[in-house]
Homo-oligomer: A and B are copies of this chain.
Amino acid sequence: MTQTLRIGIAGLGTVGIGVVKIFQDHGTSFPKKAGRDIVITAVSARDRKKDRGVCLDSYTWYDDPLAIARADTVDVVVELIGGSAGLPRELVETALQNGKHVVTANKALLAEHGFALACLAEKKNRALCYEAAVAGGIPIIKALREGFVANQISEIRGILNGTCNYILTAMRETGRSFEDILKEAQEKGYAEADPTFDIEGIDAAHKLCILNALAFGINPNFEHIGVVGISAITTDDIKAADELGYRIKLLGVARREGSRTVQRVEPCLVPISSPLGSVEGVFNAVDITGDFVGRGLLVGRGAGEGPTASAVVADLMDIARGNITPVFALPPEFLTDPEPRPHESTETSSSTAPFYVRLTVRDQPGVLASVAGVLYDSNISIGAVMQRARMPGQTVPLILTTHPACPEDLQTACRNLEGLPTVTEKPVLMRIED
């Protein structure tokens, strides 16, 4: 049996405590699985006195997390502080500089500084692992980096944010508004006090950015992802989608289209009976298409103490077993630069797709005729139309689906629709995925 692998954990929030619990519950099996001992030797967090429900007495306490990154008693630093700027980055860099392996759950850090960190890890010949950063307990990083390594990936589609999926599911199940459900989710602790990162799609975009890097060999660069959140989704949308046979999901999509890769996070309609359509509540899912393997789907809990800690410990086991793979599947010198982010007008101008359109219109005669005329002029062919009259003169939602349409044509049509006197708000557009 080779040398003991010594772990230092910086950050003792939900995930950090989850990791401690796994070691305390299952640690005796680790030497059998890894061929060596794996032990936690050091921990660090802000408040030493806080009761965290687990015994930390056998670990050396550090008030300064950076001290863990320098400690002679630590071989692997587990960074669970979170946030991309400042301390976490300094911690990871210091750990690598000091010849330590790093395991992190920090998607923002990897999405924004992944390339520099991968170069440093490569230079120091150390592991930088992050299974916990995307889709919690789902081993999606390992699947892309190793399981599907034989394939040219053409598409990744993921439900990557559990908070959004929880809100959208609850809106459908209860018929209550976005604001209402969000407030409840905050009270229950499913959503942050400041929910912007989740509901505006930024968290999902961080994760998509990492998946995109792995799948397509592209430097992770968060700035290149088009992002639309779910805060504009109404109960009218949820109900209409349901009646049309769809669920609304915040999808992260990265797709090869010719020589370029389109990356976007946006709410989409997916068929109720499709694999992604059946992923509800806090579950996450990633649907991958490769040229040899075909389509594969991985589903599981995307967040929480147990699933995320499970992913952290899987990374630690890989390091203990000596199974170390390049950070983004390829050494950083082979990663290519991403294409610049397209402008608004062409942002969705990738392949044609059917779309869902919600217009807010004044309930008066001739509205549908004028809307249909504008769409016709832009070569948009209408699939379904749903309108429920409420009160003449009031505004009502007018919901349409289109046949596969060129996104640029649809953008043009929407600008023209917005100019109609009977259309009172900016149209809401959502792509219909199969």
Contact = CB atoms under 8 A, between A and B. Distances in A.
Interface of A: 18, 21-22, 25-26, 32-33, 35, 131, 137-139, 142-143, 146-152, 273, 275, 278, 290-301, 304, 306-307, 309-314, 317-318, 321-326, 329-331, 334
A317 B137 contact: no
A293 B137 contact: yes
A434 B216 CA distance: 38
A310 B290 contact: yes
Contacts of A290: 137, 310
A26 B291 CA distance: 10
A143 B32 CA distance: 18
A317 B149 contact: yes
6 contacts: A32-B330, A131-B147, A139-B148, A151-B310, A318-B323, A322-B323
A280 B398 CA distance: 36
- A-B complex: 4 closest residue pairs judged by Cβ atoms: A139-B147, A150-B313, A137-B293, A296-B300
Contacts of A142: 139, 142-143, 146-147
A137 B306 contact: no
A142 B331 CA distance: 22
Nearest to A147: B139
A56 B365 CA distance: 72
Nearest to A322: B322
Given A139-B148, A273-B278, A293-B310, 18 more contacts: A22-B292, A25-B291, A33-B329, A35-B331, A137-B296, A139-B139, A142-B147, A146-B318, A149-B314, A150-B317, A292-B313, A294-B301, A294-B306, A294-B307, A296-B300, A296-B301, A321-B323, A323-B324
Interface centre among A138, A149, A152 (most CB of B within 10 A): A149
Nearest to A151: B310
Contacts of A314: 146-150
